[in-house]
Amino acid sequence: MAKYSKAAQKKVEKAMHEKKHGQLKSGSSGKKVKSRKQAIAIGLSEARKEGKKVPQKKTAKKAAKKAAKKSASKKTAQKKTAPKKKTAPKKKTAPKKKAAPKKAARKKSPKKRR
């Protein structure tokens, strides 16, 4: 099964063609694209926006893996912990006074002589 659809391949092909002719510009800054990898990335992102068959970005994959791992570890942690005992509420204490900030030593500037 192909990773990329024909339409996505066409988008990348078009981006590469524009790059070769100096017409491909980056999104926000509007500067000319010089890198081959950047041209491919632009083509793939355009295909993603149109809903073509393109794999997720690597960063999106990593984030999805982390989230899945985190939720799985939370579930196992919840099963393992024993129910907590109820304790009496803590008494409120007066807030502690903060020490006054120390003044920085001033440098003596040489007096001007006339």
Residue 90 lies in a domain: no
pLDDT of 82 reads 62
Alpha-helical regions (H) of the chain? 6-20, 36-49, 58-80
| pTM summary value | 0.48
* Strand, coil or helix: 32: strand
| Backbone phi, psi, residue 41, to 5° | -60, -40
Does a structural domain hold residue 38?
A: yes
Residue 94 domain-assigned? no
Residue 96 lies in a domain: no
What are the tens digits of pLDDT across the range 14-54? 999 999 999 999 888 889 999 999 999 899 889 998 898 88
Residue pLDDT, tens place only, 64-85? 777 777 777 666 666 666 666 6
Q: How far apart are CA 42 and CA 54, in angstroms?
A: 13
Domain count of the fold of the chain: 1
pLDDT (mean) for 96-110? 70
Both tokens assigned to 114: 């006339």
